[in-house]
Amino acid sequence: MRDSNTDLFDPRTAMDSDSSPGSTPTVSSCDFGFAFNDSNFSDRVLRIEIMAGSQDSRSEGEGCTSIADWARHRKRRREDIKKENGADIVACPEEQILNCNQPDVDDVVACENEDEEAVAMIEESASGDEAEVGNNSAWNMDCSTVVRIKTLHISSPILAAKSPFFYKLFSNGMRESEQRHVTLRINASEEAALMELLNFMYSNTLSTSTAPGLLDVLMAADKFEVASCMRHCSRLLRNLSMTPESALLYLELPSSVLMAEAVQPLTDAAKQYLAGRYKDITKFQEEVMALPLAGIEAVLSSDDLQVASEDAVYDFVLKWARAQYPKLEERREILGTRLGRFIRFPYMTCRKLKKVLTCNDFDHDLASKAVLEALFFKAEAPHRQRSLAAEDSALTNRRFVERAYKYRPVKVVEFELPRQQCVVYLDLKREECINLFPSGRVYSQAFHLGGQGFFLSAHCNMDQQSSIHCFGLFLGMQEKGSVTFAVDYEFAARSKPTEEYISKYKGNYTFTGGKAVGYRNLFAIPWTSFVAEDSLYFINGILHLRAELTIRH
């Protein structure tokens, strides 16, 4: 027996329309299509008054051949509804009327009387006679004319089981809950979707299969709180081909609590689509710069962004925010409350973090907090950093989770005395190294010594003497030109069983711009031995490399 405290329409407990084989049928899964609009199986009459809300009163989906058409038409409808707000409430004393000609959820103005429903409910007289509404001043407004009336026979238990809206209507203990006739007022644009919705509440099926039509039904299901239909529409929409336009539209649907839960799989799929399509933001720079806020958040939330480093993400976010929000106060608000949390400051370079502190686009306190947190993270031991990333992986901003950067993050310790020197730590995962075979390369982020930029690069290359593949490590200088720079360098790696850094190669080199130096077979073993499960150089799946650079005088 169902718990008396459990609502039939609770989206967390109600079953979807496609119940599992062998399960006991429920109201949510049974097909009552035979009873739809049949007086023999009905206890009430639903009178639908259809109003000509605007000159173009068709549904958003009607006549729309694409998502873009639906979005444009819905935008026009929302503007029309805002103009019509003054004609929404009908004060008829003798009939129960639910005025459902409401703006979308995000446009609703809160009622002053908290005890009232969001729709106007007007009691029907005991005799059941319908009141004459022709003399009502609000009703006579040109934009609120009833153009036709539909009458349906309905079953209150079936509707109440599927919808909190109807459940409250039929069980609120008020006099209208005992009346046989119920009147709904809707815009003509909502007629087709409402009929689809009512049919679904009986049969668990929809006749429409196009994206515009399903979106119309989804909006109606949200308005009348039919979670099972919202989930059904969400599932059907996910099965259609996704486009940038449709993905953005799904992310910008009204965000009531019920819709957010029922349509979460659809919005998740939209985010994944956008993140996958625009993972290389440099390749689609113009398209990405034109994305709205919801689209940018979806792209920035991805771990798979193909960017050089988190510095590039920071620069892009600033560029987008400055283009979309020219006013400083608005830009600060958006960066502080929406976009800043998607920048993974712990993986930015120290040089760039210094610029964050002086950037006027960020609130100073927020910037200071982000930079301080990033520096603390950098100072943590590698195992502690991995622990923080694991704890953070379930969160939306994932600020401690490392992206798949083109240039791998490094940890740098700098010394000024007695000589200018830096120690650079580069960690590579076993999977990253395996993917280098047979001729791949992976580069580190830039680091600086004596005002010059350097980088490390790990290679899978062919040993020229033995003609076998092996692991190589190289040191390069960024600047091109006639600059010369003499450096002593040493490469080391952690090795079992001591897990201490052991020196593998020492040398010195006078760099000119764009040149690199290193060792083609750093560990003096074949590639297969280097990546083997019993390799001495992978500790908990991580290769730990160290490079020491000292300026020669």
pLDDT of residue 450: 87
pLDDT of residue 379: 85
Q: Are residues 393 and 456 in the same domain?
A: no
Residue type, 330: E
Q: Are residues 447 and 492 in the same domain?
A: yes
Q: Are residues 539 and 446 in the same domain?
A: yes
Per the domain annotation, does 115 fall within a domain?
Answer: no
Q: Are residues 314 and 455 in the same domain?
A: no
Tokens of 447: 């680091």
Per the domain annotation, does 468 fall within a domain?
Answer: yes
CA gyration radius, the chain: 32
Q: Are residues 399 and 415 in the same domain?
A: no
Express each pLDDT in 499-526 by its tens digit.
Answer: 999 999 999 999 887 788 999 999 999 9
**CA-CA distance, 195 to 114, in Å (whole number)?**
30
pTM: 0.72
Query: What DSSP designation does 210 have?
Result: S
**CA-CA distance, 35 to 243, in Å (whole number)?**
39
Q: Are residues 158 and 295 in the same domain?
A: no
**CA-CA distance, 339 to 370, in Å (whole number)?**
13
- Measured in whole angstroms, the distance separating CA 112 from the mean position of its chain's CA atoms is 34
CB 200 within 8 A of CB 206: yes
pLDDT of residue 488: 95
Tokens of 456: 């490390």
Helix (H) or strand (E) holding 460: strand 452-462
Q: Are residues 433 and 518 in the same domain?
A: yes
**CATH at residue 532:** 2.60.210.10
pLDDT of residue 145: 84
Tokens of 92: 């008829």
Express each pLDDT in 360-405 by its tens digit.
Answer: 999 999 999 999 999 999 888 777 887 888 887 766 668 889 898 8
CB 107 within 8 A of CB 81: yes
Q: Are residues 228 and 347 in the same domain?
A: no
pLDDT of residue 73: 65
pLDDT of residue 116: 34
pLDDT of residue 123: 31
**CA-CA distance, 40 to 71, in Å (whole number)?**
41
Residue where a domain stops, chosen among 406, 436, 471: 406
pLDDT of residue 117: 34
pLDDT of residue 9: 54
Look at the chain and report how many structural domains it folds into: 3
Per the domain annotation, does 82 fall within a domain?
Answer: no
429 class by beta-carbon count within 10 Å (0-12 exposed, 13-18 middle, 19+ buried): middle
Residue span of the structural domain in which 330 resides: 279-406
**CA-CA distance, 259 to 219, in Å (whole number)?**
9
Residue with tokens 């120290």: 350
Helices (H), 12-118: 67-84
Residue where a domain stops, chosen among 381, 406, 431: 406
Per the domain annotation, does 59 fall within a domain?
Answer: no
Question: Which parts of the chain sit beneath pLDDT 50?
Answer: 1-7, 11-21, 23, 55-57, 85-96, 101-143, 174, 257
Closest by Cα among 399, 442, 439 to 543:
442
Cβ atoms within 10 Å, residue 417: 6
Helix then strand then coil, % of the chain, to nearest 5: 40, 20, 40
**CATH at residue 260:** 3.30.710.10
Per the domain annotation, does 267 fall within a domain?
Answer: yes
165-to-168, 186, 216, 447 alpha-carbon distances in Å: 6, 15, 18, 61
Q: How far apart are the first and last CA of the chain?
A: 87
Residue where a domain stops, chosen among 243, 276, 309: 276
**CA-CA distance, 438 to 237, in Å (whole number)?**
42
Q: Are residues 475 and 354 in the same domain?
A: no
Q: Are residues 400 and 253 in the same domain?
A: no
**CA-CA distance, 340 to 362, in Å (whole number)?**
9
For the chain, give the number of residues. 553
Per the domain annotation, does 367 fall within a domain?
Answer: yes
Per the domain annotation, does 212 fall within a domain?
Answer: yes
Express each pLDDT in 82-141 by its tens digit.
Answer: 555 433 333 333 344 555 544 343 333 333 333 333 333 333 333 343 333 333 333 333
pLDDT of residue 228: 92
Q: Are residues 254 and 240 in the same domain?
A: yes
β-sheet bridge partners, residue 221: none
**CA-CA distance, 368 to 356, in Å (whole number)?**
8
Q: Are residues 365 and 456 in the same domain?
A: no
CB 519 within 8 A of CB 504: yes
Per the domain annotation, does 97 fall within a domain?
Answer: no
184: left (phi over 0), alpha (psi -120 to 50) or beta: beta
Helix (H) or strand (E) holding 448: strand 447-449
